[in-house]
Amino acid sequence: MADQRLGIIMNGVTGRMGTNQHLVRSILAIREQGGVALANGDTVMPDPLLVGRNGQKVARLARAHGIERWTSDLDGALENKDDALFFDAASTQLRAGLLERAIAAGKHVYCEKPVAETLDDALRVARLAARAGIRHGVVQDKIFLPGLLKLKMLRDAGFFGRILSVRGEFGYWVFEGGLQPAQRPSWNYRKADGGSIILDMLCHWRYVLDHTIAPVRSVSCLGATHIRERIDEAGKPYKADADDAAYAIFELEGDIVAQMNSSWCTRVNRDDLVTFHVDGTKGSAVAGLHRCVTQANVNTPKPVWNPDQPQTMRFAGQWLEVPDTVDFDNGFKVQWEMFIRHIFEDGPWRHDLLEGARGVQLAEAGLKSWRERAWVDLPDLAL
């Protein structure tokens, strides 16, 4: 049967994440494979229109990847009835307003997270989308990564028994810009520009914990601004006043305790830039982005505390790796394909704007907890 076309207005894809994960490894990869296959035998071919405020930058990106359509006129792009989907990966500060404009123009919407700076804004946009009857989604890429998929498989199989706790470590050293150029944009470290590791990362930890372990019910969070001065892309020093580290404890459904350290001021001595250690009554597992290792009750050693002698056990070698039993595709691409099927054939979909609002809810609660030095509960959200 004939292919179907999906015109996609791709806003803010000149940044590292937008270019690499969404444009190159998702949309262009889908085009190269011949589109997204539907259950009825049709295929959907994405047709991207690149949009950005800097026309020269957008044009260079389009030329580099053989894309014919680009513009710096977002209003004109939204007026085009031939492009049904609006995607945004630009600034968090602008996202809620951009999504509202796209919804008003009758577009389906798909976006990066956070979906807004505040919970009120996130819920307003979600309600607008629901009333408009359009399809809407939020990128929740980490749960489509091999390591997290293996972790969820272990949970679903009952490997852990009763889950007791989760310990997560995320982060790496982001250079201040003097000794070496910073590997993250300077706006990440300025409050006025929407910078905040709590706002950025707690949105991730909400959907990871909710879908891989158990729903989050409350949070206690301490933020910190460890590095107070950095150097921007132009080589000029600036005051870094946004939090660059967050130390959070979450209470999950089922009396599970989760701890999550997030920091751009830590040097890595672990197997991956993020790891999740899950302990249960019958077994434990440690997952990174791709690998996952386990230790069941019958494989658990019996160390004895003796500070007077050097430790002879090599604990890292006592874990068994969960094998790759399937070929794992790029997590961003997998979710793009799911959303496209959701648009065209009402395929399964749970990662909507209300899910995005839940992430903002946790980030907002984390900031409130830090400010008030108190536990903050998370009530259920509804449209």
pLDDT, one tens digit per residue, over 113-165 is: 999 999 999 999 999 999 999 999 999 999 999 999 999 999 999 999 999 99
What parts of the chain have a pLDDT lower than 70? 1-2
Alpha helices per DSSP H over the chain: 16-17, 29-32, 55-64, 74-79, 92-104, 119-132, 146-156, 197-212, 331-345, 353-372
What domains sit in the chain, N to C, each tagged with a CATH number? 4-141+331-348 (3.40.50.720), 143-330+361-372 (3.30.360.10)
CB 367 within 8 A of CB 210: no
Supply the pLDDT for residue 1: 46
Cα(51)–Cα(47) distance, integer angstroms: 13
List Cα–Cα distances, 170 to 247, 265, 277, 370, in angstroms: 10, 10, 12, 19
What is the enclosing helix (H) or strand (E) of 304? none
Whether a cis peptide bond, with omega within 30° of 0, leads into 114 is yes
Give 48's strand partners: 8
Q: Name residues whose C-beta falls within 8 Å of residue 262's C-beta, 6 or more positions apart in sequence.
A: 170, 171, 197, 198, 201, 202, 205, 245, 246, 247, 248
Q: Name residues whose C-beta falls within 8 Å of residue 169's C-beta, 6 or more positions apart in sequence.
A: 260, 261, 270, 274, 275
Angle at 207 between CA 104 and CA 126, to 5 degrees: 15
Picking from 192, 288, 186, the residue whose alpha carbon sits closest to that of residue 229 is 186
Residues in the chain, how many? 383
